[in-house]
């Protein structure tokens, strides 16, 4: 394939190995971050992490040297904070940033060869999954059914079920948004693993200072407010346990937790606090959703805790002997305070 990605692509996708080639070529040493002209890059990386911690995507885009150095600085900052929630949230929002660029590129790129190259570099090179253009319509993408099923199994919405997709000749046909959404978790994991694998020594002071600033500003303050996990039914306990580790829960699990907490009399603030560790936490959206479930917004209908059989069908039931024959988590024998 003689066609190559250009520097404009590397600015958007700095996690590609090819993108950081100029770092190798220019023999950039970590000490270079002590130079005054790097202040702009370190400040930019700090702002990028701050924006992400507020649950937003950092949208600014500059030339590729600036972007690759900012990306690298942000990885170092996050690593140095040594706070798992910051690491997870940064990985997620970096994945969302790349996702937005990739959807835009796949929708607007007129050159089919360039489009195929992007698909190859990102899907095949990074995630070992083949994605092609539909031979009859370059706005449609296709993926093998087996690859689709592996990735879509994490999604619970009806629209992702294979019966609701166009399937032909062993392929599933998808639009740009869908094909990119399918690899969001893998992209987030790729960035997460990059940070975990970093080995930092003799880090320049300007980076250390900014990392300390971020750690202080975004250190978790919610731990003491979390309810005692041991008091809840196994399904709720399991979900809270995952949440406290910064894992992303499916919508159905969030609904289960929120309706349960509302039913046992927890106030809106304390329920919103519970969702704080989620990598994609957004206070405004979470508060609206919890208020909606409480019947304070929208149709003013208060939502009930789903039944045990419904939770079982959604793979959210983690029954133990203590559950006995109960039909709803609210009937669990040890009702919390
Ligand atoms: S049986 Fe009911 S209460 Fe027990 S884990 Fe399953 S859903 Fe939860």
DSSP string, 69-97: HHHHHHHHHHHHHT-HHHHHHHHHHHHHH
Q: Is the pLDDT of residue 1 over 70?
A: no
What's the mean pLDDT in 278-298?
85
> In this predicted structure, which of 92-96, 183-187, 235-239, 253-257 has the lowest mean pLDDT?
183-187
- Residue 275 Cα, ligand 1 centroid: separation in angstroms? 21
> In this predicted structure, which of 101-105, 160-164, 299-303 has the lowest mean pLDDT?
299-303
What's the mean pLDDT in 88-112?
91
- Residue 280 Cα, ligand 1 centroid: separation in angstroms? 26
Positive or negative CA dihedral for 238, 242, 244, 245?
A: positive
Q: In the structure, what pLDDT confidence band is assigned to residue 12 with cuts at 50, 70 and 90? A: very high
Q: What is the pLDDT of residue 334?
A: 54
**Mutation choice for ligand 1 from 232, 238, 314, 326, CB with most ligand atoms inside 8 A:** 326
Q: Name every residue whose Cβ is closer than 8 Å to that of residue 147 and which is 6 or more positions away in sequence.
A: 129, 130
What's the mean pLDDT in 199-212?
89
Q: Yes or no: say if 332 and 282 are a contact pair by the CB < 8 Å rule.
A: no
What's the mean pLDDT in 282-286?
87
Q: Is the pLDDT of residue 337 over 50?
A: no
Q: How far apart are CA 152 and CA 155, in angstroms?
A: 5
Nearest CA to ligand 1 atom 7: 308
- Distance from the first to the final alpha carbon of the chain: 65
- The CB density around residue 271, as the number of other CB atoms within 10 Å, is 23
Q: Is the pLDDT of residue 336 over 50?
A: no
Name the CA dihedral angle for 249, 252, 254, 260, rounded to a multiple of 10 degrees. -140
List for the chain the helix, strand, coil content (%; round to 5): 60, 5, 35
Q: What is the pLDDT of residue 80?
A: 93
Question: For tokens 């704080």, what's the residue?
Answer: 276
Q: What is the pLDDT of residue 229?
A: 63
Nearest CA to ligand 1 atom 3: 329
Show the ligand 1 pocket: residues with CB < 6 angstroms. 233-235, 308, 311, 317-319, 323, 326, 329, 332
Q: Name every residue whose Cβ is closer than 8 Å to that of residue 80 and which is 6 or more positions away in sequence.
A: 200, 203, 207, 208, 211, 212, 215
- Of the candidates 12, 65, 14, 8, the one whose C-alpha atom is nearest the C-alpha of residue 41 is 65
* Domains of the chain by residue range: 1-110+184-219, 130-182, 223-331
């Amino acid at each position: 394939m003689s066609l190559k990605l250009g520097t404009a692509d590397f600015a958007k996708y700095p996690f590609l190995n090819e993108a950081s080639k100029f770092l190798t070529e220019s023999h950039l040493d970590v000490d270079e971050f002590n130079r005054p002209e790097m202040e702009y890059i370190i400040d930019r990386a700090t702002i990028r992490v701050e924006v992400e911690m507020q649950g937003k995507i950092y949208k600014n885009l500059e030339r590729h040297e600036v972007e690759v150095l900012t990306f690298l600085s942000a990885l170092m900052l996050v690593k140095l904070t040594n706070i798992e929630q910051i690491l997870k949230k940064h990985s997620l929002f970096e994945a969302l940033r790349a996702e937005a660029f990739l959807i835009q590129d796949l929708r607007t790129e007129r050159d089919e060869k360039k489009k195929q190259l992007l698909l190859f570099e990102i899907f095949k090179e990074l995630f070992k999954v083949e994605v092609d253009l539909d031979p009859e319509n370059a706005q449609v993408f296709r993926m093998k059914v087996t690859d689709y099923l592996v990735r879509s199994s994490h999604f619970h919405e009806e629209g992702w079920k294979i019966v609701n997709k166009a399937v032909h000749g062993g392929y599933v046909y998808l639009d740009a948004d869908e094909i990119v959404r399918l690899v969001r978790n893998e992209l987030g994991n790729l960035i997460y693993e990059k940070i975990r694998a970093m080995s930092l020594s003799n880090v320049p002071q300007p980076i250390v200072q900014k990392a300390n600033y971020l750690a202080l500003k975004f250190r978790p303050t919610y731990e003491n407010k979390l309810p005692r996990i041991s008091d809840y039914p196994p399904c709720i306990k399991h979900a809270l346990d995952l949440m406290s580790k910064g894992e992303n829960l499916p919508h159905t699990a969030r609904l289960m937790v929120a309706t349960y907490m509302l039913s046992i009399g927890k106030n809106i603030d304390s329920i919103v606090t519970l969702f704080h560790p989620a990598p994609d936490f957004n206070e405004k959206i979470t508060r609206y959703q919890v208020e909606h479930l409480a019947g304070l917004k929208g149709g003013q209908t208060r939502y009930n805790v789903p039944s045990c059989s419904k939770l079982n069908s959604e793979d959210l039931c983690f029954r133990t002997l203590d559950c006995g024959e109960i039909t709803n988590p609210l009937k669990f024998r040890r009702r919390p305070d």
